[in-house]
Amino acid sequence: MTREVLLVLHSGRATNRRTAAAVAHRLAASGVRLRVLGDEWAEVEDGTLPNGLEPRIVDGRPGCAEGAEVVLVLGGDGTLLRAAEMARPVGVPLLGVNLGRVGFLAEAEQESLDGALDAVVEGSYAVEERMTLDAVARVGCDTVLARTWALNEATVEKTSRERILEVVLEVDGRPVSAFGCDGVLCATPTGSTAYAFSAGGPLVWPQVEALLLVPSNAHALFARPMVISPDSEVAIEVDPAGPSAVLECDGRRTVELPPGARVELFRGATPVRMVRLDGQPFADRLVRKFDLPVRGWRGAPHTGP
């Protein structure tokens, strides 16, 4: 039985397309077939691949990664979030190779692509599960507007630039705070380095299970980021007398929220599985991705056995 890897590509750059062609040749030479999205692969100059392993075309719908060993993502964080939609329903792990700028979700950089491909061919990698969020948007008790999910964050944001969004926050069935704002984010630890970080939230190590609540430009004295239990249930209620709002999950899935809508958020039933290659500490990733100054560090004395 032929092994397969689903390739998801940011095809908007010529260098990315050339990289994808090289990946296809490398994997085919090792007996691994690519599964590809037709519109992306049409832009790649691949030629004839070794072993007759021409790519298999799929449509990119959720679950299209079923049967693949890995989803190999060539691009930035946006490309990986798109690939997560295809991989999450069927539990296939994601391996991100950053061809963009920060690419915080990626496990490898372009210069380490060869090593990442070796790991795929040899099956020498670990897989970790990342917590997700499930979201339910409703009006009243009986009308469900949508059910969706997020890997990074779910945000309730205003749609009118001129109006302030009035919200009430609820945690575990109890009101916590009410204020006017541009929006409220509920993020996972994975999402703590994304939009939540830009809004003033804390960085959370991926191994920590928690939910983050981060107000955006809130008009209130008590509107600080909160770290709460991963098993808590959060609700964000939109003022019925105020403007409409929008629920966005990972910037990809959008639900229009009328005045009076309620968004309920809780730990996702299905995690996203991510490939780990070298076990690099999260602190090292922070330093590398954010170019943090560490000059002068001498290290702690060794006190172990």
Q: Within a 13 Å sphere around the CA of 297, how many CA atoms are in the beta-carbon half?
A: 7
Catalytic status, residue 118? no
User: CA dist 93 to 68, 273, 302, Å?
Assistant: 9, 4, 36
Task: Give the number of other CB atoms < 10 A from CB of residue 204.
Answer: 22
The answer for residues whose C-beta is within 8 angstroms of residue 8's C-beta and 6 or more apart is 37, 40, 71, 72, 73, 74, 75, 79, 80, 82, 83, 86
User: CA dist 256 to 116, 163, 244, 248, 249, Å?
Assistant: 40, 16, 8, 9, 12
Of 174, 139, 153, the C-alpha closest to 216 is: 153
Beta-bridge mates of residue 129: 273
Catalytic residue among 46, 59, 77, 250: 77
Catalytic residues, by residue number, are 77
